[in-house]
């Protein structure tokens, strides 16, 4: 059993594609039209054959209340590993990304949380030491 992709619900696939590629640095893996939407996945350039992140339309009626509740409680919907949270935080701030939590040490991990502009809070983390 393997995990080929994980999904993140997005308000607008085109805006999400721009943010996840231009700002975060992911690369498009698959972009296929599906009616009004797309099967749209991105991957890390560091692992192009690894797990794909599906930028999934958030049209289902259950998605809005679920994401709103998570955001209201400050809970990220996903977490991405980086080599250095402080450096990535500074890079993303320079690109205009809005953080809801600056880099914060949590034991041997440092995390930060940002708004992906597509309806989600997302965490970055790195192992310290």
Question: How high does pLDDT run on average in the chain?
Answer: 96
Report the pLDDT averaged over residues 98-106: 97
DSSP letter string, 15-76: HHHHIIIIIT--EEEEEEEETTEEEEEEE-TT-TTS-EEEEEE--STTHHHHHHHHHHTT--
Instruction: Give me the pLDDT at residue 128, please.
Output: 81
Residue 81: domain span: 5-127
- What is the number of helices (H) and of strands (E) in the chain? 3, 8
Percent of the chain with pLDDT over 90: 98
How many independent structural domains does the chain possess?
A: 1
CATH number at residue 61: 3.10.180.10
CA–CA dist 122, 129 (Å, integer): 23
pTM for this prediction: 0.93
Residue 98 DSSP class: P
Note the pLDDT tens digit of each residue in 25-78: 999 999 999 999 999 999 999 999 999 999 999 999 999 999 999 999 999 999
Top pLDDT among 128 and 89 is at: 89
């Amino acid at each position: 059993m393997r995990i080929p992709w994980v999904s993140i619900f997005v308000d607008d696939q085109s805006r999400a594609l721009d943010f996840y590629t231009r700002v975060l640095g992911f690369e498009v893996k698959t972009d296929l039209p599906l009616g009004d939407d797309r099967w749209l996945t991105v991957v890390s350039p560091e692992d192009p054959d690894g797990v794909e992140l599906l930028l999934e339309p958030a049209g289902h009626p259950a998605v809005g209340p679920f994401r709103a509740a998570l955001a209201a409680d400050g809970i990220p919907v996903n977490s991405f590993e980086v080599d250095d949270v402080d450096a990535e935080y500074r890079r993303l701030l320079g690109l205009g990304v809005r953080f809801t939590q600056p880099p914060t040490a949590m034991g041997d991990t440092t995390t930060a949380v940002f708004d992906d502009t597509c309806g989600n809070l997302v965490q970055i983390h790195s192992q310290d030491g």
